[in-house]
Structure 1
């Protein structure tokens, strides 16, 4: 565990980004894949290109580090009426010692949490690809089926309103007490969803701790990059990364809670918030 923490510990000071080459630029804003600004995250990484999303997988965590999508109004219209089929499966394109298996999640106490959601996928092929375990992270059940589902729905609502957005969903591994499920798959401490609206030329991200009673925070791309060690939109100007897209407030479906009652983490600065959590 100490080795894993050493590999994945994220410096809060910015470092030089690793320019990301990609075989599937259609999923990324300006065709540029997310950059790893923390070089330690690059160990055993592999890009996986799919019809509905691109993903960077880590053989250290045995999860994705990020999954990227280009969402459009037309894509979501095609998704309407598509029945969900829970075809969870191990990723055959990955070496067995680097990938998660279905047995790792069994009786783990964690959900198989999608990075690129099945609800974003416009056809049977892309939906099946979204159920690859490479696209999953061990996620607290109340988060996955609560505020995180609301964040996914809010992102789709923004897409329908604006016409298109670029989305990067990722995992953060912070702290000295990281857990594994199945003795193999690392559990993220936090998850994020970064959104760029090319019409407004603005971006921001949702950030949530991976725990049962998690709230969320809306942060700038600059703040997220420092915390996550990942720049989701490396092609954006510095001023755009420092500004904030007005992300819609998520709602909790079927639980009688309005957006106002789904309370966010206090807006006191994400770096201060995470430092407090990691004391």
Structure 2
């Protein structure tokens, strides 16, 4: 069941308790994670997931409220900064290469959705949170990007998931993911950071625990051409999206995605390919009998006026 949670401003958590930011510690066959803790404030700590980030440098959290219960989790092919408040990633980061994506095409998808055992139980999403919620478990680092079976299995960790509108996830977002893969294949390599935004005073929850994003973003950086930009989409049934500059998205997100990157690169949005929705076409033709969220809201508002 989806519930409602009042939140002041965009992703504005209570800062009355001094937030601590920790990095999880564990090691496995394809996972290397380090442990550290930092006081509240701008998060600019060293990262154990450096091979997934441009220049080996993780994003900085510039909105200090977002550092509360933020924990880094490193996987073989991507790195996550997880929020124990939203129980979603703040971002998932990947270094896409032509060779890695060539390997990924040889891997058949095997669904292995699972809770992230390295996160504290009170901070992580559980499979039961999504049951009958009406939302997909939406990957931030896509399973189709993963270069081997181990990495693909890791991508199904709920620490890499957000509650996502099902039509959005399966059509527009899938098209964006596919377009970014093709761009990486064409250009040789890209650094990609994907994540959610929580905007507004009231945020929906699933399982009364996991916050539902209002928007999703995917940042793309081409290090050879020194070009960057980002897709920005509403988390609803839509074929619409925006391409924005990194600087613009950083203001919305409260995150410095590329510390040390020249302002001129951040302020100019690169030309990103128009996503082709699954099944072909730049936008899926929606069944006209299935109303969008905005259409439903418009009808409800009209009914309220005539019933009064």
**Alignment-derived partner of residue 12 in structure 2:** 9
Q: Structure 1 residue 73: deviation in Å?
A: 0.1
Aligned mate of 1:209, from 201, 225, 234: 234
Per-residue deviation, residues 74-97 of structure 1 (Å, max 9, x unmatched)? 000111121101000000000111
Give yes or no for the alignment of 1:47 onto 2:72. yes
Counterpart position of 1:29: 54
Pick from 163, 169, 179: which aligns with 1:138? Answer: 163
What is the CA-CA distance between 1:148 and the residue it aligns to? Answer: 0.4
Specify the alignment match of 1:266 in structure 2.
none
Alpha-carbon distance in structure 2 between the residues aligned to 1:89 and 1:104: 12
Equivalent in the alignment of 1:160: 185
1: CA distance, partners of 2:254 / 2:45: 14
SS in 2 for 1:204: strand
1:98 deviates by: 0.4
Q: Report if the CA contact (8 A) 2:136-2:166 is conserved.
A: yes
Instruction: Say if 2:205 is the partner of 1:180.
Output: yes
- After superposition, what is the alpha-carbon deviation per residue over 1:27-56, rounded to whole angstroms, capped at 9, x for unaligned? 000111011111111110000000010000
Q: Runs of 4 or more off by more than 3 Å in structure 1?
A: 4-7
Root-mean-square deviation (CA), in Å? 1.7
Cα deviation, 1:87-124, whole Å, max 9, x if unaligned, reads: 00000000111000000001100000000000000001
The alpha carbon displacement at 1:20 in A equals 3.6
What's the CA shift for 1:222?
0.3
Tell me what 1:117 maps to: 142
* Structure 1 gap ranges (5+): 11-15, 264-279
Partner Cα distance (2:129, 2:201) in 1? 22
Count, aligned residues: 254
Q: Determine if contact 1:53/1:68 at 8 Å carries over to the other structure.
A: yes
- Please state how far the C-alpha of 1:262 moved relative to its aligned partner: 6.7
Higher share of residues assigned strand: 2
Which of residues 218, 224, 240 in structure 2 aligns to 1:193? 218
Aligned to 1:275: none
Q: Shift of the alpha carbon at 1:5?
A: 4.0
Which of 222, 232, 241 matches 2:247?
222
1:146-203 deviation digits (Å, cap 9, x = unpaired): 1100000010010010000000001111101210000000001100000000111010
TM-score by length of 1: 0.87
Q: Distance in 1 between matches of 2:128 and 2:246?
A: 35
Report SS of the residue matched to 2:272: coil
**1:190-229: CA deviation from partner (whole Å, max 9, x where unpaired):** 0000000011101000000111125110000000000111
Task: Give me the whole-angstrom Cα distance separating, in 2, the residues matched to 1:224 and 1:7.
Answer: 13
Task: Give the unaligned 5+ runs of structure 2.
Answer: 14-40, 286-308
- For the 8 Å contact 1:250–1:262, the answer to whether it is kept is no
Equivalent residues of 1:18, 1:35 under 8 A apart: yes
